[in-house]
Amino acid sequence: MMNLSDTARALVAPGKGILAADESEKSADEKRLTAFGIKTGPEMRRKFRDMLLATPGIEEYLTGVILHEETLSQKGNDGELFPRLLAAKGITPGIKVDQGLEPLAESPSETITKGLLGLPERLTAYHTDYATGFTKWRAAITIDGDRLPTARALVENAKRLATYACEVQKAGMVPLLEPEVLLDGAHGRLRARAVIESVMRVLFDTLNEQCADLSGIIIKTSMAVSGNKSGRQDTPEEVAEDTLGALMETVPAEVAGIVFLSGGQTPDQATANLAAITKLARERNAPWPLTFSYARALQEEALMIWKGEDENVPAAREAFLARLEKVAAATS
């Protein structure tokens, strides 16, 4: 029986990473299917998951896949439940357990994440019925000049992330804590860096007051990049300097690992930035393993080719595998 820190370390093993395939029904329909001209609904979502998860050879690049609740009980084309199909390849199935965002009462242009109600019961069911080994909780942090984020948004989101983390560890799984600093906005890279630092400081202050064992948690973070309305394109070296700088200032060495989201970067940007960050991390002896946990940057090229058609599956899988290989290579 592996303990939590062994499970967490295995998820951030060198040269591999985690696929985020945990879009809610609505996000999968709107942002993955409709956005690529594909029909929606449960069967198309199932086919979309099968196109990715049944790709032969993904285990060479993936330690884990984050799933959404609907996918846990769906089956691949081979008739096997998706979590079992992954486990058979040696990939740990994970589950997104938050239930999305709602406006923060004290600052309605910001959000707080829902999902603590009934969480312990859901965790037990996921772990026993589907053998999930890890879980994800996403908070979204908005930047608007110096006005946002408010201290309140950081504190309230950190409290829920910490409560979530403790519950997940009690249930015998690894929590992946994702306070995503959104790319939307006209802010520069240095502002993004400062916000990532504030988010992490508040988060670790809160975690230290609670029961979470830091050696059995994984942090999922944005990179420090200029906002998508800034008109600026940072170089990978700039992104690496400010991303690693922010994390080394704020994330304790005991944390099992740090994974990145792609956040709306193109697949090539997300690959080049990751390569620069991991290179700098080796030069500076960063204390934790760093790798990817991308959704869009891994899926986009495959979705473009697939178009929802069975005959395009082999070509779509080839593109998916090719991107996985590049992203995995960027970590080593």
**Three-class secondary structure of residue 130 per DSSP:** helix
CB of 294 to ligand 13P, least distance (A): 4
Separation CA 318–CA 59 (nearest Å): 14
Q: Which is nearer to ligand 13P, 45 or 138 (CB)?
A: 138
Cα–Cα distances in Å, from 179 out to 142, 157, 204, 280, 316?
Answer: 10, 8, 12, 23, 31
Separation CA 39–CA 302 (nearest Å): 16
Cα–Cα distances in Å, from 168 out to 30, 62, 101, 120?
Answer: 29, 22, 19, 8
Q: Which is nearer to ligand 13P, 27 or 150 (CB)?
A: 27
Could you tell me how many residues of this chain bind ligand 13P (CB under 6 A)?
10
CB of 194 to ligand 13P, least distance (A): 21
Work out whether 294 is an interface residue with ligand 13P (CB under 6 A).
yes
x/- track of binding to ligand 13P for residues 185-204 (CB under 6 A): --------------------
CB of 20 to ligand 13P, least distance (A): 3
- 293 CB-contact burial (10 Å; exposed 0-12 / middle 13-18 / buried 19+): buried
Residue 311 appears among annotated catalytic residues = no
Handedness of CA 326, 328, 330, 332 (dihedral sign): negative
Cα–chain-centroid distance for residue 177?
9
Q: Which helix (H) or strand (E) holds 175?
A: strand 174-181
CB of 311 to ligand 13P, least distance (A): 27
CB of 172 to ligand 13P, least distance (A): 22
Q: Which is nearer to ligand 13P, 20 or 246 (CB)?
A: 20
CB of 154 to ligand 13P, least distance (A): 18
Instruction: Please report, as residue ranges, which positions from 134 to 163 form the binding site for ligand 13P (by CB under 6 A).
Output: 138
Total residues found in the chain within this entry? 332
Work out whether 295 is an interface residue with ligand 13P (CB under 6 A).
yes
CB of 53 to ligand 13P, least distance (A): 16
Q: Which is nearer to ligand 13P, 138 or 193 (CB)?
A: 138
Cα–Cα distances in Å, from 55 out to 89, 144, 318?
Answer: 11, 40, 8
The residue range among 67-75, 223-231, 294-302, 304-312 that interacts with ligand 13P, by the rule CB under 6 A, is: 294-302
Q: Which is nearer to ligand 13P, 67 or 85 (CB)?
A: 67
Angle at CA of residue 313, ends 14 and 91, nearest 5°: 30
In the set 4, 12, 20, 218, which binds ligand 13P (CB under 6 A)? 20
Which of 178, 197, 241, 300 is an active site residue? 178
Q: Give me the DSSP letters along 58-81.
A: GGGTEEEEEE-HHHHT-B-TTS-B
Residue 220 appears among annotated catalytic residues = yes
Instruction: Please report, as residue ranges, which positions from 296 to 315 form the binding site for ligand 13P (by CB under 6 A).
Output: 296-297
Q: Name the residue among 103, 91, 29, 83 with its Cα closest to residue 62.
A: 91
Work out whether 54 is an interface residue with ligand 13P (CB under 6 A).
no
Work out whether 263 is an interface residue with ligand 13P (CB under 6 A).
yes
**Three-class secondary structure of residue 261 per DSSP:** coil
Which of 156, 220, 238, 326 is an active site residue? 220
The residue range among 76-84, 114-122, 245-253, 288-296 that interacts with ligand 13P, by the rule CB under 6 A, is: 288-296
Structure tokens at 73: 């009980």
| Active site members | 178, 220
Q: Which positions lie near ligand 13P, rule CB under 6 A?
A: 20, 138, 178, 261-263, 294-297
